[in-house]
Amino acid sequence: MASSNVMVIGGGISGIEASLTLADQGYRVLLVEQTSSLGGRMAQLDKTFPTLDCSICILAPKMVESSRHPNIELLAYSEVQQVTGIAGNFKVKVLKKAKYVNWDVCTGCGACSEKCPMKKIPSEFEEGMGNRQAIYIPFPQAVPRKAVIDVEKCLYLTKNACKLCEKECEAGAINWDDKDEVIEYDVASIIVATGFDQLDPSLIDRYHYGEYPNVVNAMQYERLLSASGPTGGELLRPSDKKHARAIAFISCVGSRNEDLCAYCSKFCCMYQTKEGVVTREHAPDTTVTIFFNDIRVIGKNQEEFIERAKEEYGLKYYRGIPGDIRENPDNQNLFVKHANLDTGEVEISEFDLVVLANAVTPRKNARELAQILDIETNGVGFFKTKDSTEDLSSTREGIYVSGSCQSPDDIANSVAKAGGAAALAATHAIPLSDEETRIDLPPLKPISPLDEPRIGVFICRCGINIAGYMDVPELVEYSKTLPHVVYSMENKYSCSQLTQDIIKEKIEELDLNRIVVAACTPRTHEILFQKTIREAGLNEYLFTFVSIRELDSWVHMRDNKRATDKAKDLIRMGIARVQYQRPELKIKGAVVPEALVIGGGITGMSAAIEIATKGFKVHLVEKKDELGGQLNLIYKINFDRIDSKQFLEGKLNEFLSHKSITTYLNSEVVDVKGSIGDFKIKVKNKEKKLDLNVGVIIVATGAHEHEPEGWYHYGEEGLNDKVMTQLELSKNLRENKLKDGETLVFIHCVGSRQPEGGKGVTYCSLICCSESIRHALYVKEKYPNSNIYVLYRDIRVGGDEEQYYWAARENINYLRFNDYPEVIVKNGRLSVTVSDILTQVDLTIDADRVVLSTPLIPNETKSLGELIKCARDQKGFFLEAHVKLRPVDFATDGIYLAGTCHGPKGIADSISQARAAAAHALIPLMSGEVENEPIVSIVNPALCIACQECERVCNFGAIGVNFDNDILVSESNPLLCKGCGDCAAACPAGAIIMSHFADEQLYPMIAEAVRGDYVDERPRIVAFLCNWCSYAGADTCGVSRFQYPTNIRPIRVMCTGRIPKRFILRAFLEGADGVFIGGCHIGDCHYIEGNYDMLQRYHELRDVLEKVGINPERYRLEWISASEGKRFSQVVTEFVEKVKELGPRSDKGDRIINIKEAA
Amino acid sequence: MIITQQKDINEIYEMIKDYKKILIAGCDGCCQPPRSINEATVLGQLLELKFKTKGKNLTWRSITVLRQCDDKIAASTIRPFLDDHETILSLACGLGVVMLNKVADKILTYPAQNSQFGGAQNNGENSFIQYCETCGNCMLGMTGGVCPIAGCAKHLSNGPCGGTVNGLCEVGGYKNPCAWIEIYKRLKRFNRLDMFTLYRPARDYRPATSPAYIVINKPYTNEEKITEENK
Instruction: Tell me, yes or no, whether A120 and A68 share the same domain.
Output: no
Which range is most confident: A366-380, A921-935, A1086-1100, A1124-1138?
A366-380
pLDDT of residue A449: 83
In a domain, A1142, yes or no: yes
d(CA A360, CA A369): 18
Q: Which residues of B touch A1007 (CB under 8 A)?
A: none
Q: Do A1109 and B39 touch (CB under 8 A)?
A: no
Task: List the 1081-1120 stretch of A: residues with Cβ below 8 A of B.
Answer: 1104, 1107-1110
In a domain, A353, yes or no: yes
Lowest mean pLDDT across A5-14, A381-390, A748-757, A1024-1033: A1024-1033
Q: How confident is the model at residue A1014 (pLDDT cuts 50, 70, 90)?
A: low
- Could you give the percent of chain A with pLDDT greater than 90? 70
CB-CB contact of A1057 with A1095 (8 Å)? no
Q: Is the pLDDT of residue A1155 over 50?
A: no
Domain boundary among A811, A835, A855: A855
Mean pLDDT of A911-928: 95
Q: Do B42 and A1068 touch (CB under 8 A)?
A: no
Whether residue A1019 has a cis bond before it, omega within 30° of 0:
yes
Q: How many CB pairs under 8 A join A and B?
A: 70
Q: How confident is the model at residue A892 (pLDDT cuts 50, 70, 90)?
A: confident
Instruction: Tell me, yes or no, whether A209 and A332 share the same domain.
Output: yes
More confident residue, A226 or A600: A600
Pairing label, strands A1074-1079, A1021-1026: parallel
In a domain, A449, yes or no: no
Which range is most confident: A181-185, A893-897, B114-118?
A181-185
**Which of the 8 DSSP states describes residue A553?**
I
pLDDT of residue A107: 66
Q: Is the pLDDT of residue A61 over 80?
A: no
In a domain, A897, yes or no: yes
Which of B49, B57, B73 is the best mutation test for A, with the most CBs of A within 10 A? B49
Nearest CA in chain B to A1145: B53
How much is the mean pLDDT over chain A?
Answer: 91
Nearest CA in chain A to B6: A1104
Domain boundary among A835, A855, A875: A855
| Residues in CB range of A485: below 8 A, 6 or more apart | A455, A456, A457, A479, A575
Instruction: Tell me, yes or no, whether A245 and A345 share the same domain.
Output: yes
Domain boundary among A563, A581, A599: A581
Q: Do B36 and A988 touch (CB under 8 A)?
A: yes
> Which of A947, A1060, A1068 lies at the smallest CB-CB distance from B34?
A947
> Which of A949, A1108, A1148 lies at the smallest CB-CB distance from B34?
A949
Nearest CA in chain B to A985: B38
Instruction: Tell me, yes or no, whether A202 and A334 share the same domain.
Output: yes
> Which of A989, A1060, A1148 lies at the smallest CB-CB distance from B36?
A989
User: Which tens digits make up the pLDDT trace of A65-105?
Assistant: 898 788 999 999 999 999 999 999 999 999 999 999 999 87
Look at residue A21 and give its three-state secondary structure. Answer: helix
A1108: phi > 0 → left, psi -120 to 50 → alpha, else beta; which? alpha
Asked if A988 has any chain B CB less than 8 Å from its own CB, the reply is yes
Mean pLDDT of A31-44: 95
Tell me how far apart the 2 most distant CA atoms of chain B are, in Å.
72
Instruction: Tell me, yes or no, whether A471 and A574 share the same domain.
Output: yes
User: Which tens digits make up the pLDDT trace of A681-703?
Assistant: 999 988 889 999 999 999 999 99
Q: Is the pLDDT of residue A595 over 90?
A: yes
Mean pLDDT of A1018-1044: 86
Q: Do A1108 and B53 touch (CB under 8 A)?
A: yes
CB-CB contact of B22 with B78 (8 Å)? no
Instruction: Tell me, yes or no, whether A189 and A129 share the same domain.
Output: no
A624-660 b/e (C-beta count within 10 Å ≥ 16 → b): eeebbbbbeebbbbbbeebebeebbeebeeebeebeb
Instruction: Tell me, yes or no, whether A72 and A189 share the same domain.
Output: yes
Domains and CATH numbers, chain B: 2-118 (3.40.50.2300), 137-196 (no CATH)
User: Which tens digits make up the pLDDT trace of A147-163?
Assistant: 999 999 999 999 998 99
Q: How confident is the model at residue A1159 (pLDDT cuts 50, 70, 90)?
A: very low
Instruction: Tell me, yes or no, whether A900 and A868 share the same domain.
Output: yes
Whether residue A213 has a cis bond before it, omega within 30° of 0:
no
- The C-alpha of B127 sits at a distance from chain A's nearest C-alpha, in angstroms, of 13
pLDDT of residue A268: 94
**Which DSSP string do the residues of A953-1016 spell out, in sequence order?**
H-SSS-EEE-TTSSS--EEE-TTT-----HHHHH-TTS-EEETTS-HHHHHHHHHHHTT---TT
In a domain, A219, yes or no: yes
d(CA A699, CA A892): 12
Q: Do B52 and A1066 touch (CB under 8 A)?
A: no
In a domain, A1140, yes or no: yes
Look at residue A148 and give its three-state secondary structure. Answer: strand
Tell me how far apart the 2 most distant CA atoms of chain A are, in Å.
94
Instruction: Tell me, yes or no, whether A1023 and A1096 share the same domain.
Output: yes
Asked if A948 has any chain B CB less than 8 Å from its own CB, the reply is yes
More confident residue, A822 or A1012: A822
Question: Taking the CB of residue B219, how many other CB atoms lie within 10 A of it?
Answer: 7
Nearest CA in chain A to B55: A1148
Instruction: Tell me, yes or no, whether A400 and A432 share the same domain.
Output: yes
Asked if A1062 has any chain B CB less than 8 Å from its own CB, the reply is yes
Q: Which domain holds residue A868?
A: 590-702+859-924
Q: Is the pLDDT of residue A1157 over 60?
A: no
A903: phi > 0 → left, psi -120 to 50 → alpha, else beta; which? left
Q: Do A945 and B36 touch (CB under 8 A)?
A: yes
Q: Is the pLDDT of residue A1156 over 60?
A: no
Q: What is the 3-state secondary structure (H, E, C) of A334-380?
A: EEEEEEECCCCEEEEEEECEEEEEECEEECCCHHHHHHHHCCCECCC
**Which residues of B lie closer than 8 Å to A, measured between beta carbons?**
8-10, 26, 28, 33-39, 41-42, 45-50, 52-53, 55, 64, 123, 126
Task: Write phi, then psi, for A269 (nearest 5 degrees).
Answer: -55, -40
pLDDT of residue A676: 85
| Residues in CB range of A891: below 8 A, 6 or more apart | A870, A871, A879, A881, A1086
Instruction: Tell me, yes or no, whether A1098 and A1039 share the same domain.
Output: yes
> Residue A1143 burial (CB < 10 Å; 0-12/13-18/19+)?
middle
- The C-alpha of A689 sits at a distance from chain B's nearest C-alpha, in angstroms, of 27
> Which of A989, A1062, A1104 lies at the smallest CB-CB distance from B28?
A989
Which of A1069, A1147, A1150, A1154 is the best mutation test for B, with the most CBs of B within 10 A? A1147
Q: Do A952 and B45 touch (CB under 8 A)?
A: no
Q: Which residues of A touch B36 (CB under 8 A)?
A: 945, 947, 988-990
Mean pLDDT of A446-455: 91
Q: Which residues of A touch B8 (CB under 8 A)?
A: 1107
In a domain, A345, yes or no: yes
> Which of B9, B34, B48 lies at the smallest CB-CB distance from A1107?
B9
User: Which tens digits make up the pLDDT trace of A258-306?
Assistant: 899 999 999 999 999 999 998 998 788 999 999 998 899 999 889 989 9
Q: Do A1104 and B9 touch (CB under 8 A)?
A: yes
Q: How many domains in chain A?
A: 8
Instruction: Tell me, yes or no, whether A67 and A162 share the same domain.
Output: no
pLDDT of residue A109: 66
CATH code of residue A146: 3.30.70.20
Nearest CA in chain A to B40: A988
pLDDT of residue A821: 95
A1149: phi > 0 → left, psi -120 to 50 → alpha, else beta; which? left
- The C-alpha of B57 sits at a distance from chain A's nearest C-alpha, in angstroms, of 10
pLDDT of residue A282: 79
Q: How confident is the model at residue A253 (pLDDT cuts 50, 70, 90)?
A: very high
pLDDT of residue A873: 85
**Which of the 8 DSSP states describes residue A205?**
G
User: Which tens digits make up the pLDDT trace of A754-787?
Assistant: 988 888 999 999 999 999 999 999 999 999 999 9
Q: Do B41 and A947 touch (CB under 8 A)?
A: no
Q: Do A988 and B35 touch (CB under 8 A)?
A: yes
pLDDT of residue A231: 84
Mean pLDDT of B119-146: 86
**Whole-Å CA distances, A678 to A104, A589, A694, A930, B215:** 44, 8, 6, 10, 55
- The C-alpha of A1107 sits at a distance from chain B's nearest C-alpha, in angstroms, of 7
Mean pLDDT of B137-165: 90
Q: Is the pLDDT of residue A1018 over 50?
A: yes
pLDDT of residue A214: 95
pLDDT of residue A698: 97
d(CA A519, CA A1051): 15
pLDDT of residue A1143: 86
CB-CB contact of A263 with A362 (8 Å)? no
Q: Do B46 and A1108 touch (CB under 8 A)?
A: yes
Q: Do B34 and A1104 touch (CB under 8 A)?
A: no
Which of B46, B54, B61, B63 is the best mutation test for A, with the most CBs of A within 10 A? B46
Q: How confident is the model at residue B127 (pLDDT cuts 50, 70, 90)?
A: confident
In a domain, A1015, yes or no: yes
Pairing label, strands A89-96, A78-86: antiparallel
User: Which tens digits make up the pLDDT trace of A619-660?
Assistant: 999 999 999 999 999 999 999 899 999 999 999 999 999 999
CB-CB contact of A592 with A619 (8 Å)? no
- The C-alpha of A1150 sits at a distance from chain B's nearest C-alpha, in angstroms, of 9
CATH code of residue A1090: 3.40.50
Which of A961, A1065, A1150, A1157 is the best mutation test for B, with the most CBs of B within 10 A? A1065
Look at residue A849 and give its three-state secondary structure. Answer: strand
Q: Is the pLDDT of residue A53 over 80?
A: no
CATH code of residue A390: 3.50.50.60
